[in-house]
Amino acid sequence: MNKDAMQTSNIDLFSDETLRNPNPVFAELREMAPVVWMDKYKVWAITRYDDVRDALSNTEVFSSTKVAFNDVMNEALKGTSLATDPPEHAQLRKTLLAPLTPIALKKIQDDITKKAETMIAGVVEKGSFDAIEDVARAFPLEVVTDMLGVQGEAREKVLLWGDAAFNVLGPMNQRAAENLPLAGELFEFCANVKPEELTEGSLGRGIFEAADRGEIARESCGPIIHQYIAAGLESTIAAIGNTLKHLAANPDQYALLVNDPSLVRSAFNESLRLEGPLGLIGRLVMQDVVIGDTKIPAGSQVALMLASANRDPRKFENPDQYLVTRNASAQLSFGSGVHSCAGQNLARIEANAILSAFVRRIKSFKAGEPEIKLANMTRSLNSLPVLSVETV
């Protein structure tokens, strides 16, 4: 290792202080070097856009067998699409993707649109509401639980399970340790759920029917249901909530959407760029690799700093600004390469439905102070009070 070229930081990426205001920390690391040794957790942070994107695409050097920042979860995730490298990854992913293709999702799109319109009509009637609790959290929860056909006691737990599934990917700090039992409950539920416990006609029940027809292995049913709750819930809640936060803070940008609701897609992409749900994700380095002037030795863990890459001024002009007309399609919040988010079609359908319904009914709105939710891996809000709305 070239010691002279090695940049070191003592910053704790998972402390309350960093999580409360991560962007200045990311900027500091990004300007320090393309690779920074994070002494607290003994990982190398890869900070700049091109290097993060290249690492996401290079599965020979950057293995997904260490996506989490603790050994317990890296062990628990073995055999999942998320944590498996090519060539085995391809088959696992193919099975997971079956219910998530655009054609499969088209069938539920009308239902999602109707749900969004009803939800926004309800909050507009109230006049003041919480954009997180009543919209960003309520909507994906309703969509995902109805889609899967989850009922009864499990339905009440789904939010906690989804939240825990991300928190436990961090280092084994108090947040991760407290969430381990809940993450375990989710694994247990998915491993043991029976088709008759899921609503008839639901996509969840359909997964088991596909197994009965021999289209997928019976052992894949649990992991498929797991992905909707573990990977798909808190991430989508965060993405929708963060978009509403940026729209509230930028009334001029919101007005552009009201004038042209077709901009909703690019407004969502831009919010994923500015404040994607996942700040970072781990990889195990399989062979010595040099980035910039720094050699990262085989066997090390790296943190791919997605959120830092998305604000890299080398890639995006005025990166800290929220501009709904920007072409932000190069953002890395869904990852890139073979592991890029398997659920992004669903996430986009949900976001598009709820944000379009919001923009079509609400001409302008005033929001109070957002309350940040401290979480190991995801960046989201606990609350965003909407104090008043002017309807169209």
Residue number, 6 or 97, with CB nearest to ligand HEM: 97
Contact between 335 and ligand HEM (CB under 6 A)?
Answer: yes
Cβ 78 to ligand HEM shortest distance, Å: 13
Binding status of residue 136 toward ligand HEM by CB under 6 A: no
Binding mask 220-259 for ligand HEM (x = CB under 6 A): -------xx--xx--xx--x--------------------
Q: Applying CB under 6 A, does 34 fall inside the site for ligand HEM?
A: no
Scanning residues 270 to 289, which ones bind ligand HEM (CB under 6 A)?
276-278, 281
- What's 374's DSSP letter? P
Stretch that binds ligand HEM, among 195-203, 208-216, 335-343, 365-373 (CB under 6 A): 335-343
Our finding on whether 334 is near ligand HEM (CB under 6 A) is yes
According to the binding rule CB under 6 A, does residue 14 interact with ligand HEM? no
CA 263 remoteness from chain centre: 21
Least distance to ligand HEM, CB of residue 320, Å:
19
Type and span of the H or E element at 183:
helix 174-192
Question: How far apart are CB 322 and ligand HEM at their closest, in Å?
Answer: 17
Task: Give kind and range of the element (H or E) at residue 111.
Answer: helix 102-126
Closest of 42, 2, 7, 52 to residue 305, by C-alpha: 52
* Residue pair 371/382 in contact by the 8 Å Cβ criterion: yes
- Closer CB to ligand HEM, 6 or 211, in the complex: 211
Instruction: State the minimum distance, in angstroms, from the CB of residue 227 to ligand HEM.
Output: 4
What is the token pair recorded at 220?
Answer: 């894949």
Question: Which residues partner with 380 through β-bridges?
Answer: 373
Report if residue 35 touches ligand HEM, rule: CB under 6 A.
no
**Neighbouring C-beta atoms of residue 261, cutoff 10 Å:** 17
Per-residue burial over 319-338, b = 16 or more CB atoms within 10 Å of its CB, e = otherwise: beebbbebebeebbbbbbee
Choosing from 29, 52, 55, 96, the residue that interacts with ligand HEM (CB under 6 A) is: 96
Q: Give the sign of the dihedral formed by CA 59, CA 61, CA 66, CA 67.
A: negative
Cβ distance to ligand HEM smaller for residue 335 or 389: 335
The binding site for ligand HEM (CB under 6 A) comprises: 56, 64, 67, 81-82, 93, 96, 100, 227-228, 231-232, 235-236, 239, 276-278, 281, 333-335, 339, 341-343, 346-347
